[in-house]
Structures are given as structure tokens and as C-alpha cells.
Homo-oligomer: A and B are copies of this chain.
Amino acid sequence: MKKQQQLRPGSYKSGAGFMHHYQELVKKEMIPYQYDVLWDRIPDTEKSHVIANFLNAAKLLKGEKPQEEFYGMVFQDSDLAKWIEAAAFSLLNYPDAQLEDELDDVIRLIGDAQDSDGYLNTYFTLNGKEKRFKDLLEGHELYCSGHMIEAAVAYDQATGKDSLLKIMSRNVDCIYHHFVEEKAPGFPGHPEIELALLKMYHWTGNKKCLELAEHFINVRGVDTEFYEKEAAARDWGIWGNDPKNGEYQQSHMPVREMKDAVGHSVRAVYLYTAMADLASLTDEAALLDACRTLWKSIVNRQMYVTGAIGSTVIGEAFTKDYNLPNDTVYGETCASIGLMFFASRMLEMEPDREYSDVMERAFYNTVLAGIQLDGRHFFYVNPLEAIPGISEKAQTHRHSLIQRPSWYACACCPPNAARLIESIGMYAYGENETTGFCHLIAEGEVTMENGLAFSCETKYPYDFTITYRIKKGGKTLALRIPGWSHTWSAQRNGISIQQELVKGYLYTEVSDGDVITLRLDDSIRHIYASSKVAADTGYTCIQRGPLVYCLEGVDHDGDVLSLRIKEDGFSKALPYDKDLLSGIVPLELEGYRSAPQETLYSDRKPEQIPCTLRAIPYYTWANRGVTQMRVWIPEAK
């Protein structure tokens, strides 16, 4: 029983503001660009070959000889799935007959690549049927099915066409047969299908989906030696992952006993998302408690100020509480997307800004930083400090690119961001029978199943007045007042609303024609990390609204490392500049520059020369060439 649930896709239409800009970028740049990538049509770019893999698998199943061998990561199929999901959601926002035709073609191809028993995975189809479900540790076939299930649901939601859903329904039957009916042991090395099955259950009511998701969640980590046994039973492998590294693959203990977020951060948050969704479906206190504990383990002790998670490239993983290095961080774009998923599911059980604040932090900072402003280049890793000559170059920083490449051999992040943005309304808004929830501030039009309809007008995140015009009322509107907004006011039709917040939400009855105006805190804030975070002691970072700011070398003669922010110094938001970095409000801050020091070490403190610093939103970094960048800056009196 959910207290509220995500807005249905298509019930939110962005208007002309910030969300609209990003949805358009996805529609106009990312979807066509990524489609060309999937077809290997972009020159001088890492090859995808995912369409070719499906074509080859289809040939093989027809008894023909495939043109080529499988190419790419074992989970290459999922790139197509995420692209379909993004494209499907975009159809809800931007109907496009040609794109829909392309989708229909691709879905037919997927059908052709499905085996008669419902099995669907080009890697294993091309590399030997006998290997199916025998390397759950590394094989990612359940992960790929999960993404394709999500795509199938989205395509049905967007177009009313169940073509892909039928394919995936047969695939679910195949998996259900193997793991439930045949009682094959095991669970996916990379959680994903669990959250997808629950999504399909929500949409279709197919009980097998619920049962299979529950099964995978419940058996996980019960036999902690499962992967060792699995590895011992085969004489092949994919990468040679260590089957004993239970934390990495979230198999170290039963999920209800988990207390600390550990291991591969994307695997972790995808699993927790499914756990939270199941907990709210089944109203199970033990599972909800585990979710709450894991949530706190992340956001209270292991999350960067940008909403990035995963402190190390080794296993793309969490490390230990408060270990948050700014330069060698992993901070995968997908992990922050997964953190938003987890937040959104927790919100469904407990409308509390504890979750929505983090969802906003992750979205406006790490997720958007993953995308170049041109929509054609992407970060996988999102550092909070980049130093040319060290980033990318040092053995310890090879993963920390200083410019966004046009594609990746492992390309999970770009289509993941695309699907999230095109479906952002689901995360921004929620509803139950009595109430409409505004979790994020997303400009546009909202129509809820409970009858509530309203528009949201704002230039947020660069302006802090938000106007909700109620078209159909008679319900409660629940507005999140962000935790960062120390001052705020709300008015109904010009009259102040005096109301206690409940877990950070302002609940107010609305009637047809009401105009609710929210004014949030526009101040420039100096943020301090807990002194347990060694990497940030003595440092501050700058936030305004939900945006974390950074300093780039290009604004400071190439040298950010010698800069200090003045404690209690003046700071100023410059006017919105539509031509700068696709439109931002830069900040000016009082600061100092350390005079150059000739030697590596000196006992004479270099002169601190007063200067004006210029900060830009973190999500726009690395759009003006190779240059130093820092989020955390030493503070000086």
C-alpha cells in the first residue's frame, strides 16, 4: 500500500523552462545521436554494434550464419533497451511518427532475436545456448531482460502498443520457468530485473512478475557461497570476477540484514530501489527498515555534495563511511540516477523531503553533469576536482576524464540519463487519491489521475519564485519546501499560507483557479562537510538553490588550486546569462589567490592576494575546454 505513487508517464508536459530545455536536448540531440551510435553510424566514436548483435542473433535463430561475432560488453543489449525507453518516453512529450516507426522496426528485430522458449539475449544466443543462466555472476542476461522489460512498459505506456511487452512477457515466462518452476538456484549478479519486474507488475498486474521479483530479492545473499559454487561448476567465464567478492555483487548477506551500502554502487541502488518498491507493495516492516538503514548509510555517510556516490573506481564502489575523495571519486552518472530511483520509491512510502532533497541534489548536479551541453558527449565518472596533467594521466586517475567523450565502450550512462530526463515528471510529481505531491520543481503542466490539474511556472533553478495555477482543484497540493531553503513563503491568491510543514511538505487545499505562489531562498550558501570527511576539512563549497557551484580555471587564469573563498566575504548572483553555458546565473565571490611559491615546500606563507572569484554551476563544468575545476575550495578569513 503506497502512501502515494509516481506520476504516470505522459501526465507531465514540460513548458518552456529548464526541464523543457533538457527534454528538448534529449529529443533533438541525444535520442537521434544515440540511435546513430547504436547503428555504428557515428565516425571516430567508440563502436556500439548493439543493433548488429540483434541482427546476428536473429540470423542465427533463423538457422542462418551470423555476419559477425557478438561485439561489445556482455550487457550491450541493455543500451538498446534504455534507448527504446528514452525514445518511448519522448514520444509522450513529442509525438514523432518517424521515431515511432523506427521503434517498431527495432522491436520487430528484438522479436526476431528471441528464441522460441522466450529466451532473449544476443550475447548468449551468439556465444552458445548451453551457457544460459550459468554465469549469473557476470552474465548480465537478467540485467538486460530487466532493462528490456522497462522499455516494454514505457513503450506500451507511450503508444498503447504492447508489441515489446508481449516479447518480454514471454521472456518473463522463460525466466520464471527456470528459476521458480524448475527451482534453479541463483539470483542476478547485477540487480535490475527486480525493479523492472515490479514496474511491469504495476503496469500489467502480471502476478508472475511480482512473484519473480520477490523470489530474486528473497534468495539474494541467503546462500552467500552461491557464486563460488556457480563458478566452480563451469570452465569458462566472462571477465573472471571474483565470486567471493559478495559485497561487490550484493550477495554478502540476505537483503533484510544489510546495514551498510557497500560494493558496486549502481548494483546497490538498483537493488535498494526494488526492495523499497516491494516493501511498499507488501507493507513489510523488516524490508522497509532495511531500506531506511541503507538510505541513511548512503546519504548520511557516503554521498558527495553533488549527489554522486561510489568513492572508488575499484569495483565502481562505495568504500567506507566518510571516505569521499574529490579527485579519484567514481561518482558514476548511473549511480546517481539509481539513487534518484531509490529516493523516488522511498518517497512513495514516506513523503519526506529527506528523500526528495537528495533526488534533487543528484539530478541537478551529478546527473546533468553527465551530459555535455551539446547532448552529444557524456561523463561516466563525475569528479569534484579535475587537474589537467593528473586527471586521466596518473595511474590513480585514469578513469577521471577531464572532457566528456562522445561514447563509451561501456555506455550505460548516456541512455540512462536520456530515459530519466524524458520521464522526469514521474519523479517530480506523485499522487494519491487525495493529494498531489510536488517533489521536484518542474515547470510545465500536470494532470493527475486523482483529478488534480495545474501548471507550474518558474525559471527555477535560476529563479526562486514558483507559481502553481490550479486548473482542477478540490484536492490537497503537497509542496516540498527544500531543506536548503531556510526562508520561504507561500501565498494562495496573494494571501500568505500559514501552515506547519509535515516532513518538509506544505499541504494545502486547492480549488479551481487558485494561484499558489512559492518563494524560496535565493541566497548563496557556503556549505561545510562534516569534519569526518578528511578530503573537505577546512574547505567550503558554494550552493545556490539546488545547484552546487564550482570554480573553473578558464575563469581564473587557468589556476583554481591557488584560490581561497573568503569566510563571510561578499557574494553576488550575476544576472541570468542566456548565452553562457546554455543559460546560467554565474556567481561572484570574494576570495584570495595565493601568490606563487617557488619551492615545493616553504615556511613562508605565500601572500594572499584579494580577488573576485567566479563560480559556475557544477553541471556545466568541462564545457569550455580542458581546465582545472574544483568544487571544494579552502576557506580563509
Contact = CB atoms under 8 A, between A and B. Distances in A.
Contacts of A162: none
Interface string A524-548: 0111111111100111100100000
Contact of A603 (B311, B525, B538, B630): B525
Contacts of A321: 389
Contacts of A395: 312, 314-315, 317, 319
Interface string A564-606: 1001000000000000000000000000001011011111111
Contacts of A319: 390, 394-397
Interface string A192-226: 00000000000000000000000000000000000
A396 B538 contact: no
B601 A528 contact: yes
B531 A393 contact: no
Interface stretch (A63-71, A273-281, A296-304, A456-464): A296-304
- Copies of this protein chain in the complex: 2
B538 A387 contact: no
A484 interface: yes
A481 to B, nearest CB: 15
Which of A323, A385, A533, A634: most chain B CB closer than 10 A? Answer: A323
Interface in A447-503: 484, 486
A562 interface: yes
A320 interface: yes
Contacts of A315: 395
A591 B397 CA distance: 34
Given A394-B312, A396-B312, A600 B320 contact: no
B322 A599 contact: no
A373 interface: no
Contacts of A394: 311-312, 319-320, 323
A106 interface: no
B528 A606 contact: yes
A322 B564 CA distance: 19
B532 A561 contact: yes
B531 A562 contact: yes
Contacts of A299: 600
A530 B320 contact: no
Interface of A: 299-301, 303, 305, 311-312, 314-315, 317, 319-323, 325, 327-328, 385, 387, 389-390, 393-397, 484, 486, 525-534, 537-540, 543, 559, 561-562, 564, 567, 594, 596-597, 599-606, 630, 634-637
Given A328-B328, A539-B634, 17 more contacts: A300-B599, A315-B395, A319-B390, A320-B389, A320-B390, A322-B389, A323-B396, A325-B396, A385-B534, A387-B534, A525-B603, A527-B603, A528-B597, A531-B561, A537-B594, A538-B636, A567-B605
21 contacts: A303-B600, A305-B601, A311-B396, A314-B396, A320-B394, A322-B389, A323-B397, A325-B328, A385-B534, A486-B603, A528-B603, A530-B600, A531-B596, A531-B606, A537-B561, A538-B538, A538-B564, A538-B634, A540-B605, A543-B603, A637-B637
